Amino acid sequence: MTSIINKSDLIQDIASRCDYITDSDVDSAVREILTLLSKNLINNSRIEIRGFGTFCLHHRDARQGRNPKTGEMVLVPAKSIPHFKPGKALREGVNEKWM
């Protein structure tokens, strides 16, 4: 069974665990953290959260591709892809759950 948690679920979960912080403060903190992470990735910074994982960009060079419908050669532009590499503790925790 797969469970999906979105941003509002995350905010509600944190707020329910912290009696001394208001829901709006938790909302502001989560939004600020996500904004900070996004801005750092946009500026090509590496983000490392010990015990959780690392966020970075993988850069792909421009290349020749083919339109599958027409077979025409097209130029696929260079781009950067956000990448997450889980930390050792997270990897081990996930693997223990499924063994």
Among 35, 76, 40, residue whose Cα is nearest residue 57 = 40
What's the average model confidence in pLDDT over 70-99?
90
Question: What CA–CA distance (Å, rounded) separates 8 from 17?
Answer: 14
Largest Cα separation within the chain, whole Å, is: 61
pTM summary value: 0.76
pLDDT digits (tens, 9 = 90+) for 14-56: 999 988 888 899 999 999 999 999 999 999 999 999 989 999 9
Between 90 and 97, the more confident residue is: 90
pLDDT digits (tens, 9 = 90+) for 64-84: 999 999 999 999 999 999 999
Residue 1 has pLDDT above 60, yes or no: no
| Count of beta carbons in the 10 Å neighbourhood of residue 26 | 19
